Structure 1
Protein backbone atom coordinates (compact mmCIF):
# COMPACT_ATOMS: atom_id res chain seq x y z
CA UNK A 1 0.00 0.00 0.00
CA UNK A 2 2.81 2.40 0.83
CA UNK A 3 4.42 1.65 -2.55
CA UNK A 4 1.32 2.87 -4.33
CA UNK A 5 1.39 6.12 -2.39
CA UNK A 6 5.06 6.59 -3.22
CA UNK A 7 4.44 6.52 -6.98
CA UNK A 8 1.28 8.63 -6.70
CA UNK A 9 3.27 11.59 -5.39
CA UNK A 10 5.50 12.03 -8.45
CA UNK A 11 5.32 15.53 -9.84
CA UNK A 12 6.31 16.98 -13.18
CA UNK A 13 9.81 17.90 -12.06
CA UNK A 14 10.49 14.40 -10.73
CA UNK A 15 9.31 12.81 -13.97
CA UNK A 16 11.53 15.16 -15.99
CA UNK A 17 14.55 14.32 -13.83
CA UNK A 18 13.90 10.58 -14.23
CA UNK A 19 13.55 11.02 -18.01
CA UNK A 20 16.82 12.96 -18.14
CA UNK A 21 18.66 10.27 -16.18
CA UNK A 22 17.28 7.55 -18.47
CA UNK A 23 18.34 9.58 -21.50
CA UNK A 24 21.85 10.00 -20.11
CA UNK A 25 22.18 6.31 -19.21
CA UNK A 26 20.85 4.79 -22.43
CA UNK A 27 21.29 7.51 -25.04
CA UNK A 28 18.82 8.70 -27.62
CA UNK A 29 19.28 5.76 -29.97
CA UNK A 30 18.78 3.01 -27.41
CA UNK A 31 15.53 4.30 -25.89
CA UNK A 32 13.28 3.26 -28.85
CA UNK A 33 14.87 -0.19 -28.80
CA UNK A 34 14.29 -0.41 -25.05
CA UNK A 35 10.64 0.61 -25.41
CA UNK A 36 10.16 -1.89 -28.25
CA UNK A 37 11.53 -4.66 -26.02
CA UNK A 38 9.25 -3.63 -23.16
CA UNK A 39 6.27 -3.64 -25.54
CA UNK A 40 7.09 -7.15 -26.71
CA UNK A 41 7.36 -8.31 -23.11
CA UNK A 42 4.00 -6.81 -22.18
CA UNK A 43 2.38 -8.33 -25.26
CA UNK A 44 3.81 -11.75 -24.42
CA UNK A 45 2.58 -11.44 -20.84
CA UNK A 46 -0.96 -10.55 -22.00
CA UNK A 47 -1.00 -13.51 -24.40
CA UNK A 48 0.06 -15.80 -21.57
CA UNK A 49 -2.69 -14.44 -19.33
CA UNK A 50 -5.28 -14.98 -22.09
CA UNK A 51 -4.09 -18.57 -22.56
CA UNK A 52 -4.43 -19.22 -18.83
CA UNK A 53 -7.94 -17.73 -18.80
CA UNK A 54 -8.95 -19.98 -21.71
CA UNK A 55 -7.62 -23.03 -19.88
CA UNK A 56 -9.57 -22.08 -16.77
CA UNK A 57 -12.77 -21.59 -18.79
CA UNK A 58 -12.39 -25.06 -20.34
CA UNK A 59 -12.39 -26.64 -16.92
CA UNK A 60 -10.80 -29.85 -15.68
CA UNK A 61 -13.15 -32.11 -17.71
CA UNK A 62 -11.61 -31.14 -21.05
CA UNK A 63 -8.15 -32.28 -19.88
CA UNK A 64 -9.43 -35.76 -19.02
CA UNK A 65 -10.95 -36.28 -22.48
CA UNK A 66 -7.63 -35.78 -24.27
Structure 2
Protein backbone atom coordinates (compact mmCIF):
# COMPACT_ATOMS: atom_id res chain seq x y z
CA UNK A 1 0.00 0.00 0.00
CA UNK A 2 1.49 3.32 -1.08
CA UNK A 3 0.76 6.19 1.23
CA UNK A 4 1.38 9.74 0.08
CA UNK A 5 2.31 12.08 2.88
CA UNK A 6 1.91 15.78 2.42
CA UNK A 7 2.90 17.91 5.34
CA UNK A 8 2.76 21.52 4.27
CA UNK A 9 1.68 21.09 0.69
CA UNK A 10 -1.98 21.83 0.22
CA UNK A 11 -3.64 21.26 -3.12
CA UNK A 12 -6.29 23.39 -4.79
CA UNK A 13 -9.19 21.25 -3.67
CA UNK A 14 -8.09 21.43 -0.04
CA UNK A 15 -7.87 25.23 -0.22
CA UNK A 16 -11.36 25.45 -1.73
CA UNK A 17 -12.72 23.14 0.98
CA UNK A 18 -11.07 25.19 3.75
CA UNK A 19 -12.46 28.43 2.29
CA UNK A 20 -15.91 26.84 2.10
CA UNK A 21 -15.76 25.88 5.77
CA UNK A 22 -14.50 29.36 6.74
CA UNK A 23 -17.36 31.00 4.84
CA UNK A 24 -19.86 28.68 6.53
CA UNK A 25 -18.48 29.38 10.01
CA UNK A 26 -17.83 33.12 9.81
CA UNK A 27 -20.01 34.28 6.95
CA UNK A 28 -19.08 36.01 3.72
CA UNK A 29 -19.31 39.51 5.20
CA UNK A 30 -16.65 38.74 7.87
CA UNK A 31 -14.16 37.26 5.40
CA UNK A 32 -12.47 40.57 4.42
CA UNK A 33 -12.01 41.48 8.09
CA UNK A 34 -10.41 38.11 8.80
CA UNK A 35 -8.10 38.43 5.79
CA UNK A 36 -7.13 41.97 6.81
CA UNK A 37 -6.33 40.79 10.34
CA UNK A 38 -4.23 37.90 9.04
CA UNK A 39 -2.37 40.27 6.71
CA UNK A 40 -1.62 42.68 9.55
CA UNK A 41 -0.42 39.83 11.76
CA UNK A 42 1.88 38.53 9.03
CA UNK A 43 3.26 42.04 8.49
CA UNK A 44 3.96 42.44 12.22
CA UNK A 45 5.78 39.11 12.29
CA UNK A 46 7.85 40.11 9.26
CA UNK A 47 8.72 43.48 10.82
CA UNK A 48 9.68 41.81 14.11
CA UNK A 49 11.99 39.33 12.39
CA UNK A 50 13.61 42.15 10.37
CA UNK A 51 14.14 44.14 13.59
CA UNK A 52 15.74 41.15 15.28
CA UNK A 53 17.96 40.53 12.28
CA UNK A 54 18.99 44.20 12.20
CA UNK A 55 19.78 44.22 15.93
CA UNK A 56 21.88 41.05 15.71
CA UNK A 57 23.83 42.44 12.76
CA UNK A 58 24.34 45.81 14.48
CA UNK A 59 25.48 44.12 17.69
CA UNK A 60 27.93 41.93 15.78
CA UNK A 61 29.35 44.96 13.98
CA UNK A 62 29.65 46.93 17.23
CA UNK A 63 31.56 44.06 18.85
CA UNK A 64 33.80 43.68 15.77
CA UNK A 65 32.50 40.19 15.10
CA UNK A 66 31.82 41.11 11.50
CA UNK A 67 34.71 42.64 9.61
CA UNK A 68 33.23 44.45 6.64
CA UNK A 69 36.51 44.60 4.73
CA UNK A 70 37.04 40.86 5.01
CA UNK A 71 33.47 40.00 4.03
CA UNK A 72 33.64 42.43 1.10
CA UNK A 73 36.87 40.89 -0.20
CA UNK A 74 35.44 37.37 0.18
CA UNK A 75 32.30 38.39 -1.72
CA UNK A 76 34.43 39.93 -4.47
CA UNK A 77 36.48 36.75 -4.82
CA UNK A 78 33.34 34.61 -4.90
CA UNK A 79 31.86 36.83 -7.61
CA UNK A 80 35.07 36.48 -9.67
CA UNK A 81 34.96 32.70 -9.37
CA UNK A 82 31.25 32.71 -10.24
CA UNK A 83 31.88 34.83 -13.34
CA UNK A 84 34.75 32.59 -14.42
CA UNK A 85 32.59 29.52 -13.95
CA UNK A 86 29.74 31.06 -15.94
CA UNK A 87 32.16 31.94 -18.75
CA UNK A 88 33.50 28.38 -18.76
CA UNK A 89 30.08 26.72 -18.72
CA UNK A 90 28.83 29.15 -21.36
CA UNK A 91 31.59 28.09 -23.73
CA UNK A 92 30.82 24.44 -23.01
CA UNK A 93 27.14 24.92 -23.75
CA UNK A 94 27.91 26.64 -27.06
CA UNK A 95 30.26 23.83 -28.17
CA UNK A 96 27.68 21.08 -27.70
Judge same fold: TM > 0.5, yes or no.
yes
Greater Cα shift, 48-57 or 12-21: 12-21
Map of 1:41-56 to 2, 5 A cutoff? Answer: 41-56=41-56
Matched, 1:5 2:24: no
**Count of aligned pairs between the two proteins:** 59
Q: Which consecutive residues of structure 2, in runs of 5 or more, have no partner in the other structure? A: 64-96
Runs (4+) off by over 6 Å = none
Greater helix content: 1
Map of 1:1-66 to 2, 5 A cutoff? Answer: 5-8=6-9, 10-59=10-59, 62=62
Alignment TM-score, normalising by the size of structure 1: 0.71
1: distance between equivalents of 2:18 and 2:61? 51
Rg larger for = 2
Q: Which consecutive residues of structure 1, in runs of 5 or more, have no partner in the other structure? A: none
Higher relative contact order, structure no. (Cα contacts within 8 Å, ≥ 6 residues apart): 1
